[in-house]
Amino acid sequence: MMRKVSLLVLGMALGAGSVSFATHTQIFTGASAQAAASDTYRQLNLFGDVFDKIRNEYVEKPDEQKLVEAAINGMLTSLDPHSSYMDAKAYKEFSQQTSGEFGGLGIEVQQEDKLIKVVSPIEDTPAAKAGILSGDLIIAIDGQSVEDLTLNQAVDKMRGAPQTQITLKILRGPNKEVKEFKLTRDIIRVKSVKFEEKGDIGYIRITQFTEQTFDGLKDAMTKFAADIPDDKFKGYIVDLRNDPGGLLNQAIAVSNAFLDKGEIVSTRSRNPEDTQRWNAGAHDLSKGKPLIILVNGGSASASEIVAGALQDHQRAIILGTRSFGKGSVQTIIPLPQSGGAVRLTTARYYTPSGRSIQAKGIEPDVQVLEDVPDDLKGKDQIEGEASLKGHLLNSGPEEHGSQAYVPPDPKDDKQLIAAMEILHGKKPAEVAAEFAPKPDPAKAPAADAAKPADPAKPDAPKTDSPN
């Protein structure tokens, strides 16, 4: 059995989470309320009976607080991969992480077949600098096998004071090559927006959506406006590749920076009356300049909200590979009595056209695959939301797996090069053809290779239809 739950070392990743803190009260009336209450009390009595048996008869005296927290977390993780319980320490660290600063190694991880899988290292952190890669499987932490640990316990072991050392043993690639890394913990200050001028193009990289993201975006756009003459400015490239998401309000603000009207996103929960919609105001900071959004298999949640909104409004060309497919919203509900919080999936989000990308992802308008080095082949794919055990289902076929490799040298970055060519005037269809994967003659069936071409019957075009 495989169980996957995403966490961020020294701070849980919110994904497309709610920016508000919420408490929920349900009120039942009449006979239905009595029946519901009776059944609920019966189940709670069962829990109490089991708890008393463990407390009184277990071979060793158990930690009662841990028992309760384990029960709560078990209840939440049985719902979907993104609901969980945070104790006071984890909640504090989570709050630090969403503010853009936290302590640790700087890797997002999930549990898979009793091992800890690296979803992605955060740029400019100890993990990234040491060479930890997406897809690496952590098998031991400071000599202790992770098979003996829960995901939370493994994350706790990777936490620690800055400047202290930790050793990770990993398995890498299809051949399960064993590697060992010695890392030094540090305060992780995540600069969520990085930018540079690429001649007459403004390039903006958003690593995750924190409280600082929109301000960082504004700073970038202000700098471009000051440095690049308006009549020479070709447009923007916003790079959301391997961006795991973050705060919903920041995704809305980033989208609004390129829109001046229309819906950005809607969220729909179990109760229809709780549907919420966010519309763009007249705040298009880009002044209508051309825009290309880069996405790949590691672009999730808040990243997909931005890409979906700008794609539906035909405001941007989406370029790269299919995104992760996380189409749910998590609300953080503080629990004052414990100092912790519940991270609960409370809604699905929908793009302006009414699309749910849950377990499907955003299909790019222009698909461009990167050339993956031989030693990384087989590790360039992220399975996506559809592979997570217990994920929310969607109507129609789900999509599994998408390329998530980004070359470290921009000169080798085919997606970035393709985006720049489009902004310099090349048609998207021409770029798509130019960067389409070339067939391998060695893999072509002999019968097909020998069949003469029939000019009266041209090949049917191959398209990936957005869901």
**Residues 222, 224: Cα–Cα separation, whole Å:** 5
**Residues 158, 171: Cα–Cα separation, whole Å:** 17
Under a CB-based contact definition with an 8 Å cutoff, are residues 166 and 138 in contact? no
Catalytic residue (one of 312, 365, 380, 413)? 312
**What dihedral angle (degrees, nearest 10) is formed by the CA atoms of 333, 342, 269, 41?**
-100
Q: Give the other-Cβ count within 10 Å of 231's Cβ.
A: 6
Supply 216's token pair: 């960082």
**Residues 330, 328: Cα–Cα separation, whole Å:** 7
Supply 136's token pair: 């690496």
Catalytic residue (one of 326, 360, 365, 402)? 326
Catalytic residue (one of 120, 301, 328, 356)? 301
**Residues 454, 442: Cα–Cα separation, whole Å:** 22
CA nearest neighbour of 95 among 157, 175, 155, 17: 17
N-terminal to C-terminal alpha carbon distance within the chain: 30
Supply 449's token pair: 């290779």
**Residues 352, 305: Cα–Cα separation, whole Å:** 10
Is-catalytic flag, 215? no
**Residues 198, 352: Cα–Cα separation, whole Å:** 31
For β-strands 84-86 and 101-104, DSSP reports them as: unpaired
Is-catalytic flag, 301? yes
265: which strand partners?
278
Is-catalytic flag, 326? yes
* Residue-level length of the chain: 467
**Residues 386, 187: Cα–Cα separation, whole Å:** 33
Active site residues: 301, 312, 326
